[in-house]
Structure 1
């Protein structure tokens, strides 16, 4: 499985500006409404916030992988974002998050949803990859970096 197969260039956000968990979630989901107009972005944010209440998706090392399932979704959607300033995402290591991968999946595709989350986790365990992700200049460089993972 290649993560790049689930990415769309317009859903790579190199300069997140929000400074709160809910703000980042809204910022990550906003372009999904343009690329996938059938997605109710307000509902998606509520689903993501409900998931965060169960336990943070800030896994540490500056990484957060917010995710949720939506009833009427037909395919998995992955959004990659980067916050140059970092955000308090209530991460397990109590440090700010800079790298965000948001995953939305159809309710009936639990297996694929879990495989994508596992692939993201594997890729982000590599400290050299995280460094390249943080240092990439703009959307095009991030897109090129993510095509190979």
Structure 2
């Protein structure tokens, strides 16, 4: 399984406009809605915010991996965002997050959900990859880095 297996170019946001945690979640969920996918944005945000209440998904090193399960999904969806300036995501290391991978999964199929989270985590352990992600100059460069065509 590669990090690009669950990525599509319309769900890669080269520069997030949002500057706060709640706004980032909304911007990323709204990107999915903008692709024509029919679902309740507020319900999705509720699921993500409920997960954040359990503990931040800002894991450190400038990375946040917000995730949740939605009953309306049939397959896993990954939404990627970058913030050059960083966003206070209440990260474990208290540093701003610049790299965002949102994982939305169907209610059933926890195994696949966990595999995707693990693959993303493995890729993001690579400091050179993280720096290249942050340093991308445009969306195409970010897509190339992620292996999305």
**TM-score, normalised to structure 1's length?**
0.96
Match of 2:22 in 1: 22
Match of 1:49 in 2: 49
Distance apart, 1:5 and its partner CA: 1.4
For the pair 1:127 / 2:127, whether they are aligned, the reply is yes
Match of 1:76 in 2: 76
Distance apart, 1:48 and its partner CA: 0.3
Match of 2:66 in 1: 66
**How far apart, in 2, do the equivalents of 1:112 and 1:35 lie?**
23
Distance apart, 1:139 and its partner CA: 1.3
- Note if contact 1:66-1:103 (Cα within 8 Å) is conserved in structure 2: yes
**How far apart, in 1, do the equivalents of 2:142 and 2:20 lie?**
23
Match of 1:92 in 2: 92
Gaps of 5+ in 2: none
- Note if contact 1:13-1:81 (Cα within 8 Å) is conserved in structure 2: yes
Match of 2:12 in 1: 12
The one-character-per-residue Cα deviations of 1:99-127 (angstroms, maximum 9, x if unpaired) are 00000000101000000000000000000
Distance apart, 1:35 and its partner CA: 1.9
Aligned pair count reads 148
Match of 1:105 in 2: 105
